[in-house]
Amino acid sequence: MTTLVNLDAGVLIFLLIAGLIGLIILAIPYFILYLLYKWLAKKGYRVVGITLIIAFTVYLGYSTYTAIYPTDSFYLSEFKEVTLREAPKSAIVINKDASYPDFHGDYCSASLITVSNNDYSSLLNELTNDKQMTKNKPGEIIGSSELYKVMGNLKTEQIIYSFTRNIVGQEDHYLYIGFLDDKKTIVVSVCVS
């Protein structure tokens, strides 16, 4: 296990410089807000200045939180990226996980989605007849740690139908959808590497 004691001096200096740059970048908007607050306070609008600072802080916190823990709408848009279809109205994301993108934008996401039996059958039929989708052989899974995590207690053997979609010119995108044997659960996985 790597600890700060085991890191060499070059890495520590890099981390220190990167942290200082991040702090400066974060401090710039607050400095501007502080100047705006001072100007508004002189005009008699002190409360407006404080409200702007609080609103920016809440926005920054929410943006950071949703970047680390994406909302269900992110996973439903991943569904659309894989299937080229809007998620059915009955779709409910019951489990989800995503890695945080690295410097190159590489990440993996996976979600376990339940739909009505009719939507399950309809989607399975549509994807079976869609020339842009490749039907996988039974047991063929494009897995990631995120996919296995969202599966939880479910076994990959319960995926009875699965499809992948390739994007011409983006061979580093792995788009996967699997249909579980309960006729209502779908697993969707997107990996960009």
Has residue 74 got a pLDDT over 60? yes
Has residue 170 got a pLDDT over 90? no
pTM of the predicted structure, to 2 decimals: 0.76
Has residue 44 got a pLDDT over 80? yes
Report the SS3 class of residue 69: coil
pLDDT tens readout for residues 158-169? 999 999 998 888
CA 114, 116, 122: angle at the middle one, nearest 5?
A: 105
Longest dimension (CA), the chain: 71
Has residue 6 got a pLDDT over 80? no
Query: Is the distance from CB of 176 to CB of 164 less than 8 angstroms?
Result: yes
Q: Using 50, 70 and 90 to split pLDDT, how confident is the model at 7? A: low
pLDDT tens readout for residues 94-110? 999 988 777 777 889 99
Could you tell me which residues come within 8 angstroms of residue 156 by beta carbon, excluding any fewer than 6 positions away?
A: 139, 141, 143, 148
**Residue spans per domain, the chain:** 9-68, 72-192
